[in-house]
Structure 1
Amino acid sequence: MTDIFDLASLRSEFPVTKRMLYLDSAHQTPMATPVRAALAEFLVEGNESAGPKPVWVRRVETARENVAQFLNASPGEIAFTKNTSEGLNIAANAMPLIAGDNVLMIEGDHPNNAYAWLNLRSKGVEVRFVKLGDTEVANAATFAPHIDARTKVISLSHVTFHAGQRHDVADIGKLCASKGVYLVVDVMQSIGVLPLDVKQLGVSVLAAGVHKGLLTPQGLGILYVKDGLDELKPAYIAMSSLANPPDDYIARPDDMAPRKDAGRFEMGNYNLPDLHALSAAIELINKAGTANIEQHVLALGDRLISHLDELGVKLVGPRSRTERVHIYVLDLPVAEWMEYFTQNQVRASPERGGIRISFGLFNSLEDVDRLASLIKERHKQTSRSQAVEQID
């Protein structure tokens, strides 16, 4: 049993653990009770007092401060978006790229990261894909041979959704700094699961949604933009993104300068209920500690890999602790296994290489053992069926 934190207490905050074997945090995490309570409080306020907007706006800034602290950033480096995809598109369109410049990416990374940059081909920007196997992780050496004088951006996921590789972003960040290349990172699968320090990673822009490791419902995203990158310009503007928004709400064509901080990339009203809930979620995560969460899900992965070896089931992604974290893809045919897991109250996801199992802070070693027992039982059923067929 892992004893990094009070797992029993944490599991009690996730009622779903009493109803099913939830192994799908890379898709979305189930709602924790404190997050539900925060959303309920927001709804009560709106229902009973028609929305105390000044209070809600102050909470936005509290959430911004909480996110900044979570990432070792300053509040002025944090903007709120709708989701990861919007954040990546904001980054792609903000870059000072011209025809002939190129962007480096990993082939097979999340398609919404790729599309954000591929959309710039209409402006003459080239997107180059670097090949990488499912058991390989990217580091500086992965990209260095592909950089030339026109390479302006490297963009990749910190942890991949399809095989669970944990790329060495800090090493890539050092390469980018030495070459004068922007580094844009999708941390959707790592935020809330791994400790993230934007200074240590050396990222220029970081994007994420909140519905996975950050335990908050869909519809809210986080965008980090490194202070001092004033050359990154918003593709669209609104009053909220201006340095001097007009108090009388009359547009001033002669004063459209954007804000200097990351707020220049924000548009209009915020997702107030999610931002209220996000602060509650971060408080819950901080109680456990992201470093502890990392060690916890790695221990679950150790147990899973041990079971897989005994069962003769291959792991699609990397095995090393330094190259994985909470996502494990089992080489099992989706058509045969997804229905079986669903029938046995197991929540998982079909993925390119098979069945994706992804752990959250609420999962236990007993959960892993239960999954292994189900796989073993299915193997026995298959063996019995094959034996009967041979007799017939």
Structure 2
Amino acid sequence: MSVPTEVIMSQHYDVAAVRQNFPAAEHVVYLDSGFQTPLSRPVKEAYERFLQEGFETAGPKQVWLNRLEETRAKVASLLGAKPHEIAFTKNTSESMNIAANALPLRAGDKVLMIEGDHPNNAYAFLNLQRKGVEIVFIPMTEVVNAESFRPYIDDRTRAISMSHVTFHAGHRFDVESVGGLCAQRDLYFVVDVMQGIGVVPIDAKAMKATFIGSGTHKGLLVPQGLGLLYWDATRIELEPAYLAAASLASPPADFIARADNMALPATAGRFELGNFNLPAVQGLGAALDFIDQVGIENIQNHCFDLGDDLIARLDGLGVGLVGPREREHRAPHIYVIALPAAEWLDYFTRTGIRVSPERDGIRVSFGMFNTTADIDRLVEAIRARNAPAMPQARTAVLSKLG
């Protein structure tokens, strides 16, 4: 499926050139980057280089580890952090579990979370109930900020954990104000940035986050199996719940464990275990270079423009949107259309459109390579199937909006 030149222009960057790096986008209308982004040429080439090096030399491990540290520095730059504050993990879930279990929480302590937030963030903390920690969920509303949490904080509250962007409706919460509240009240603050990273600019210091967890297979363009963990290195009291030789300040050169050698480094390496997913880390290095060339602000603004167009087109069809509409409160790239997934998902698949089912509809999630032509195909598909019901649907939506 070729895309006409007139529909790939953007005021932010050369979308046509970017799109050429995602061949899958030419074969399917790919609107599912919130699930996983298609493999890009730079990442594929980084994997191929790793495989070729291993094939030809049996593995230049020190070269690979040097590249790992280069990638660690790139991740730190993306998050406004220092390289020694970044650890590599398997995925978001592992990152959130490391964070939850590193907090010095005791029986009777309380953690605040958001009802309906991502389950793998919630379960990491719900598991602490076995220690007597109380988990309290506050209501999810279109706007969540410091004032949303303030009434629930008492003398037993020790931490807040939340997502930056929601996966199921595209909320973009005011994590900076919540982080400010945590700093005022001396609370630990844990943030899941999986749905926003790579599209939404993130500043760990502005968030005042204790931990930030993420995977890399969405906005960071790398296949599944690699995660990230930011740790505020001033929080030296936070220690891992499990330990390996690689976690130590001075791993034993003779590979003999000793009880008097268990000191932890003053780096996020204390949270790392054993061998790394080296091919994925090198893929991530290439992905971060690619994202940096395009510009994270440019990616965000391009996706916002696509979102504005999608919302206007849905309004024209009389089809509702789940979640916030204003740029201030919405993620630039995640939109849930109020069409029942059970009735629509297979139809979209048959028409060559890749989307995801969500709680209240069909999720459309943009990547840096998407264009208005992709939206045209989506809208045409909705109109083709739903044309007889459009006037009634529009009336119902307008009535609901008042």
Q: Distance in 2 between matches of 1:41 and 1:381?
A: 53
1:382 CA displacement: 6.5
> Number of matched residues?
381
Which of 181, 186, 198 is the aligned partner of 1:180?
186
Structure 1 portions without partners, runs of 5+: 384-392
Offset from partner CA, 1:230-274 (integer Å, 9 cap, x none) = 111100111111011111111111111111211000000000000
1:69-108 paired onto structure 2 within 5 Å: 69-108=77-116
Residue 316 of structure 1 corresponds to 322
Is contact 1:317–1:329 with CA below 8 Å preserved after alignment? yes
Residue 266 of structure 1 corresponds to 272
Structure 2 portions without partners, runs of 5+: 1-8, 391-402
Residue 340 of structure 1 corresponds to 347
TM-score by length of 1: 0.96
Residue 57 of structure 2 corresponds to 49
Is contact 1:2–1:365 with CA below 8 Å preserved after alignment? no
Q: Distance in 2 between matches of 1:295 and 1:54?
A: 39
1:49-198 paired onto structure 2 within 5 Å: 49-133=57-141, 136-198=142-204
1:2 CA displacement: 2.2
Alpha-carbon RMSD across the aligned residues, in angstroms, is 1.0
Identity of aligned residues (%): 56
* Runs of at least 4 residues off by over 6 Å: none
TM-score by length of 2: 0.93
Which of 343, 363, 382 is the aligned partner of 2:370?
363
1:105 partner SS: strand
Residue 217 of structure 2 corresponds to 211
Residue 334 of structure 2 corresponds to 327
Residue 388 of structure 1 corresponds to none
Residue 44 of structure 2 corresponds to 36
1:42 partner SS: helix
1:321 partner SS: coil
Q: Distance in 2 between matches of 1:381 and 1:257?
A: 70
Please tell me the residue identity of whatever aligns with 1:222.
L
1:49 CA displacement: 0.6
Offset from partner CA, 1:13-40 (integer Å, 9 cap, x none) = 0001110000001101000011001000
Q: Distance in 2 between matches of 1:298 and 1:376?
A: 23
Residue 385 of structure 2 corresponds to 378
2:158 partner SS: strand
Please tell me the residue identity of whatever aligns with 2:336.
V
Offset from partner CA, 1:210-245 (integer Å, 9 cap, x none) = 000000011000000001111111001111110111
Residue 304 of structure 2 is aligned to residue 289 of structure 1: no
Residue 387 of structure 1 corresponds to none
